[in-house]
Structure formats: structure tokens, C-alpha cells
Amino acid sequence: MSAPVLVTGGAGFIGSNLADRLAAEGRRVVVYDALTRAGVERNLAWLQSRHGRLIEHIHADIRDQARLGAAVRQAQAVFHMAAQVAVTTSMVEPVEDLGVNLIATVGLLEALRAKADGTPLIFASTNKVYGDLADLDFRREGDAYLPVDPSVRAHGIGESRPLDFHTPYGCSKGGADQYVLDYARSFGVPTCVLRMSCIYGQRQMGTEDQGWVAHFLIRALKGQQVTLFGDGCQVRDILDVSDAVDAYLAAWKRIGAVSGRGFNLGGGPRNAVSLRQLLDFVGEILGRPVDVAFSDWRAGDQRYFVADTRAADAALGLGRKLDWRDGVTRLAQWLAAENGISLPVRGAALARSA
């Protein structure tokens, strides 16, 4: 029997979708997850119910070097998704953030270096490594900030953009990003980094701090108020999780060609949408406006981030991404079912057509 694939944070949103795809291909998957985030135990139960013995759960902290090292030694590949994921939490507990995001990642890299058999690591990084993009000029047009530079407007932010870590979260994830790339350069560990924009989709337990697309939908479905920090004209390129999983699996498949490289992963300009525009669309799904309030801007918030996906698309052989309207409609349908809420006739029709 072939060795399992290790997915750290495998009960989380992206991790569970990745584990599901791997197991659907008949692969054994080790889900390494401490189950500290509310709701992820449901994702684990879902995986186990679908795939039975193909899913092995290790209930351990990513900072437990002994348990992590043992899991690495049996793995044929590692997808490192485990992280402290909220900028707000990092501002309150920066030492905790450092330990989970950076020190634990170096420990994982050391376990792979000691194994010394070419086991690859694919790392989930973030667009926050580029900072707040304060040197770029943006112009508000309607309900969205857009770049003045025509090249950035056409293609988004590319990998040639200088790194500029802001907030403890940006520093910890950015530091881990660079360690992962350097272990390929310095020690020959096959690694690839995917710097993600906003990923959304089924199995996302959205909160105000992280997973904003699902959070907006959950609040709106329940008739609750949604708070926008800043003016709500911030633009993001949102990417359905199925497309993100395609990219992670392609990075593993092509690790020989892409080792030591970092790629921006997002929906690209075709899937760029402001927070206000997304809420307007949610209102269309629900057949009523969403109740919105506003609060102060949050630290490190980018007025605009759209990934230039051309390098990733070419190197990883990625296809056309799901249109954000179709993906958000599908997520609304799933969340409504999960929460026992009936979509109105229009929303249900949109979901069926998506």
C-alpha cells in the first residue's frame, strides 16, 4: 500500500476539501489537526463518513515536534495548511501567532530535511506578504477601488512585487513563506508556495476575522447585520475552493518543475469584486437588501488585491476558474442547507443554474 499524504490543518476549510479530493482518488490521507477552530470537527466527521479508512486523524498541535515528525516520516507528500489565520488575533497574541505560523513551519521543514528522501511540501501562504500596497495609486470608481496603473488594472499583482510584511500575521506567514522557499534552495527539500487571495466555498466556517465571503452569507441568510470595516469598496479576487485544490494538486504533480517557486493564487481580474458589490449580489440571491453597518478600517487592510495569476496558470497548467457569481450562489445554497434555511424562489433558481 502506498504511503499516505499528510495534510496539516486537514479538518479546516481548504484542508478538508483537499483531503476529500485526495481520498476520492483512492489515496490514504493523514489529517493532522488539533480541532481548535469551531466547527471543523464537522468537516472531519464528513471526511470520515465519505472515505472511511482512507482518512486517518492525528489529533495534535502543529507545534508538537515529536508527533509532527512521526507523521512526516510516513508521508509521501505534505500539504501544510495548518495556521493561525486571523490578522486580528495576531494583533492580540503575536507570540502565539509566531509559534503556530513560523516556528512550527520551520519544525516541519526540519522534519523533511531529516527525512532526506525528496518528500515535497506545498505551503499555503497569503497575499498579505505584499503588505498594504500603499505605494500604488488607487481610484474609487463607484463601489470599488481600482488601480490607476493600467497594467495592474489589467492583470493584478504579480510575483515580482516586493515583499512587505505588515502586522504580526503578515510577518509570521511571510517569514514561513521565505523559509519554505529557502529550504528548497539551501537544502534541496522540494517545496512550492501558493500565496492565496480570498478562497471561499463549501465547508467554510466564516467569521468576522477570517472567511469573509461565508461570514457575509451566514449573517445575511439569518437576517443579521453585516459590518464592513472601512468603506466596503475594498476589492478582492475571490477563488472557489475547488479551483484552489486544483492548484495544490498541480503543484505536487509538477513539483520537479516548480520547486523553490512562489505563486500568487486567486480568482484574477475576472473574479475581482468589492465587498459592497458582493453584498449587493447576496441581496439578489435573498430577494432583499442585506442590512449593513460600517466601522473603522482594520490594520493591514488592503484597499485592493487582485492576483496576477498568469505565472501560476502557466506553470501549473490551470484552467478557467469558476465565475464568482456561480460560486457564491452555490455557497449560499450549501450554507442555507447547513443552517436549515430555505432560500427564496429566486435564490434557489440561481443555485440550480449555477
14-53 burial, b at 16+ Cβ within 10 Å, e below that, comes to bbbbbbbbbbeeebbbbbbbbbebebbeebbebbbeebee
First to last CA, the chain: 39
- For 90, the enclosing helix (H) or strand (E) is helix 87-92
Residue of 2, 4, 10 whose CA lies nearest to 245: 10
Instruction: Show the beta-strand stretches assigned E in the chain.
Output: 5-8, 29-32, 55-58, 77-80, 121-126, 138-141, 144-147, 191-196, 198-200, 226-229, 235-240, 261-265, 272-274, 292-295, 304-305
- Report the DSSP pairing between strands 272-274 and 198-200: unpaired
Helices (H), 125-211: 150-155, 167-187
The residues annotated with a catalytic role in the active site are: 169
CA distance 146 to 138: 5
Question: Which secondary-structure segment (H or E) carries 65?
Answer: helix 65-73
